[in-house]
Amino acid sequence: NGATANRVAGNLDKALDMYIRAVEIYRYTGNSKTYQMASIYHNMSHIYQEKGQHSTALIFLDNALDIISAFDDSDAEIATTYVCMALSHMAVNDMEKAEEKLDKAMQYYDTDDGKQDGHYGSALSAWGEFYWHKKDYEKAIEFYNKTIEVDPNYAEAYSNLGLIYCLQAQDFSEKATTD
């Protein structure tokens, strides 16, 4: 769709305008509680996350969650939404809510179906980011390694591991020079 193509191309404002227009059409036609509407809200939240407007992103994720929670067999979509919510909570340093959302997401990802889900690696990576924010580098490394085990092509996990190893080396170096 055009809005998604614009988002990928970095035309965030144009993409957002297109999504807003789609929301208006869905509401006008009485389709405001459809899976497609939830998907639009979810996509809008990504734009707000990319713009650093995490409070607004959370509003759209809440809207998406309200809709998809009403559908049967929506556990995967609900879990993915919780992961996205956790990332926005981390971005505003609300680690308690981030942990709560990640715990809820893992209720699905810890199941057999969840472990086969294409977003499982993203959930594990989010836990890595959570522990990185808390400066628990060993736990962060553990989750990034799990991410790589599940999805060896998850480039961000490798990058984040490298950054954590650099931080650990820097901490070690600083301790050595002060001792």
142 vs 173, higher pLDDT: 142
Residue 1 has what pLDDT?
77
When pLDDT is averaged across residues 153-171 and rounded to a whole number, the result is: 90
Decide if pLDDT at 28 tops 90.
yes
pLDDT tens sequence across 56-76: 999 999 999 999 999 999 999
Please give the torsion angle defined by the CA atoms of residues 91, 7, 106 and 155, in that order, rounded to the nearest 10 degrees. -90
Can you give the pLDDT at residue 179? 61
- Specify the amino acid at residue 8: V
> How confident is the model over 108-131, as a mean pLDDT?
97
Predicted local confidence at residue 177, as pLDDT? 72
